[in-house]
Amino acid sequence: MGAYKELERQLKAEREIERKENMPIFKRREKMYNEIPGPRVGDWVREPDGRMTRITHIWPDHVQTGGAKYGQYYMGDGYIAYSGSLDDGFKKHRLKSLGYKRDGKIWFFKNDYRTADNAVDYMMKFRVYEVI
């Protein structure tokens, strides 16, 4: 068990170094993303039954949801793209901002180098809406 704990400690330390190295990319993209007005992919939605979910796709008149437990949110320059299953969603005019934010996970390629097994992830604050 000692060797396993040591390996776990080393991996955690490596992840922290990667996060620090990629923080400028994250901060730049987070700033661009936060300039987007209204509901965005990744934002949280409290559905009429109380279930919390996330926006997975934006259409001209409605948003699709379904990304609370599964799927991945990729952060690019000024956008977030979702990969996973989608629910039907809601008309945009039915979404009301609750005025606070909630953590959600995103990822992007370390040092912007696109290759397999090269992700770095962060938690960031997303807007929270309710369906009225």
Identify the pLDDT of residue 60. Answer: 95
pLDDT single digits (tens) 86-108: 888 899 999 999 999 999 999 99
Contact 81, 74 (CB under 8 A): yes
Using the structure block, give the residue that is written with the tokens 């929270």. 128
The one-letter code for the residue type at 84 is: G
Mean of per-residue pLDDT scores for the chain: 93
Q: Which residues contact 13 (CB under 8 A, 6 or more apart)?
A: none
Q: What local confidence, expressed as pLDDT, does residue 100 receive? A: 97
Tokens of 63: 């948003």
| Residues of the chain with confidence (pLDDT) below 50 | none
The pLDDT value recorded for residue 1 is 60
> What pLDDT is stored for residue 70 in this prediction?
79
Q: What pLDDT, on the 0 to 100 scale, is given for residue 3? A: 86
Q: What local confidence, expressed as pLDDT, does residue 112 receive?
A: 83
